Amino acid sequence: MFFLEIVLIRMHPRQVDVGSPTESWGDFLRACFHPFIKLMGINAQNSSHAVHSHRVSSVGGYDERSVSSRPIIVLFIGCLSGAVFGGIHCLGWNVLFRGHAEQILWRAASLAIVSAPVSILLLWGYVFWVDSLGELNSAFAISEMLAFLVPLASFFIYIVARIILIVLISMSFQSLPPGIYDTVAWTNFIPHL
């Protein structure tokens, strides 16, 4: 998200006013990804809704101008949450599915959900590290294409993996394991003879 913003800003100086209709794919992608950027709270501009209703948005409302470290914290927490989310889905690693293909799909989707945010974090760490070395070193400089493609691919993979998980969950109701409706015998936890 952050890199996407950096790349897009680099291509187009920030247009605060209603943008002149420059027909370029950068503007188009920016419009497409604005909801995601807004959700991440990174460099989120004030939406027309917030302006009209005189409200400060719940997520965002701050950008790199105010406190420079906040977008990084937001990005870190967001990516960490995504990884935790996928990690818990990995607990279903050995769940019995109807078919082998479903099991492989579940594992792959769980791993994809873990790896998508982690890849964004790694890329961010790399960019941060390269930046800290000083002027853009041509040997270390990450290509803008990569900085642009990795977050983009991560979004796409994450969304697709999440949809696969939801479909698999719905399909699993066709064949529930026996004993699924048995309730916990709470009295067993009480020491007795």
Partner 1 sequence: MGGFMLYVDGKPRATLEPDELLGFVRKGSVEMPVVVEADIEDRSKGDALSKGIAILQLAWFILQLVSRYIQNLPTTLLELDTLALAALAGIAYGLWWKKPKDVRRPYAVYWKTTAFPPSKLAYEYVVNVLS
What residues make contact with partner 1 under the rule CB under 8 A?
16-19, 21, 30-31, 34, 45-48, 50-51, 54-56, 58, 61-62, 65-66, 77, 80-81, 84-86, 88-89, 91-92, 95, 106, 165-166, 168-169, 172-173, 176-180, 182, 184-186, 188-189
Report, in Å, the least distance between residue 26 CB and partner 1: 12
**CA separation, residue 50 to residues 44, 68, 88 (Å):** 12, 23, 35
Tell me the C-alpha distance between 21 and 93, whole Å: 49
- C-alpha neighbours within 13 Å on the C-beta side of residue 5: 21
CB 29 within 8 A of CB 67: no
Judged by DSSP in three states, 60 sits in coil
Is the CB of 71 or the CB of 86 nearer to partner 1?
86
Tell me, rounded to whole angstroms, the distance of Cα 10 from its chain centroid.
22
Residues sharing a CB contact under 8 Å with residue 143, sequence separation 6 or more, in sequence order: none
Report, in Å, the least distance between residue 193 CB and partner 1: 19
Report, in Å, the least distance between residue 34 CB and partner 1: 5
CB 95 within 8 A of CB 123: no
Report, in Å, the least distance between residue 169 CB and partner 1: 5
Report, in Å, the least distance between residue 172 CB and partner 1: 5
Report, in Å, the least distance between residue 149 CB and partner 1: 22
Tell me the C-alpha distance between 5 and 44, whole Å: 10
Is the CB of 95 or the CB of 153 nearer to partner 1?
95
- DSSP tag of 151: H
CA nearest neighbour of 156 among 60, 42, 36, 44: 36
Is the CB of 69 or the CB of 138 nearer to partner 1?
69
